[in-house]
Amino acid sequence: MRIPFLQVDQSAWDRASVLAALLGISEYEAAGRLLRLWRWALEASPDDHVNAHVARTEVLAAAFGWPIDAHESLTATMIEAGFVAQTDSGLRIRGLSRYSGVVSRRNKERKRLRKAMRNRRVTDAGNCVTDASQVGQTQTQTQTQKEEEDSLSAGADQANRPTPEKLRRLWNELRGCWLPEWQGMSSQRKKAAEARLRERPEASDWGKIISKIAASPFCRGENERGWRASPDWLLRPDTADRVLECKYDRKDS
């Protein structure tokens, strides 16, 4: 395991001074070698607890950074200075118990984080299912709404689209008292009306055309022949264009 720091308190420093005197090295070298030993022991420990036991004295010497051939004398000196204890299961490095609390708190935090992550994954999975369901419902509702709107729009367009019969009624409403009434709907007249309505499908266009015809003195009969516009003349292929081009408007003198 790895921990964020190593501690050297006053007691450890005092015993390091004793160890330095016994080994014939400086206090600073003794303290550095002790930190090396503790670091090795902590790194060799599993994540859930501190393992301070050393199976062989050669391993202790290597971890301390000491010549292997002097492992027995080093071990005896470490025991005398209080840094190593002899137990039934072997050697135990002393001074590591202070890290047990750090390890315990870290393990609790790890368990808390793992639990939080599991709960989050469950929540996220539930949200994904819910979101996917909501997205599907929204898409279905949107598609249904669009289809309804398209259907209503198509129905409205169909209802507003002029037919030969609607064109007949429009003529009779706007003709005034000068133009002849559109009474019958022969097959020939109906066919001509359908052709003109395919060319100009807007009812407003035909309202404008018929209004201009009714307002034209020429179309009302004020001409040399006494000719008046009729429904059959309205349905001729070129009449609408000529009327909109003002060919029959009043000519002011």
For the cut 80, the answer to whether the pLDDT of residue 230 exceeds it is: yes
Residue type, 12: A
> How much is the pLDDT for 119?
82
For the cut 60, the answer to whether the pLDDT of residue 3 exceeds it is: no
Q: Averaged over 177-186, what is the pLDDT? A: 91
Cβ atoms 197, 163 nearer than 8 A: yes
pLDDT tens track for 187-225: 999 999 999 999 998 888 999 999 999 999 999 999 999
The CATH fold assigned to 10-95 is Arc Repressor Mutant, subunit A (1.10.10)
Q: Which two tokens stand for residue 172?
A: 């009779």
> How much is the pLDDT for 156?
45
Sequence ranges of the domains in the chain: 10-95, 107-160, 164-244
Residue 217: φ, ψ to 5°:
-60, -40
> How much is the pLDDT for 197?
94
Nearest to 249 by CA among 223, 219, 222: 219
0.85 exceeded by the pTM?
Answer: no
- Percent of the chain scoring above 90 in pLDDT: 32
How many H helices and E strands in the chain?
Answer: 10, 3
Nearest to 205 by CA among 153, 178, 156, 167: 167
pLDDT tens track for 120-175: 887 766 665 555 566 566 666 667 667 666 655 555 455 567 899 999 999 998 98
For the cut 90, the answer to whether the pLDDT of residue 28 exceeds it is: no
Residue 85: φ, ψ to 5°:
-120, 140
Identify any residues that bridge with 86 across adjacent strands, giving them in sequence order.
91
For the cut 60, the answer to whether the pLDDT of residue 253 exceeds it is: no
- Percent of the chain scoring above 70 in pLDDT: 72
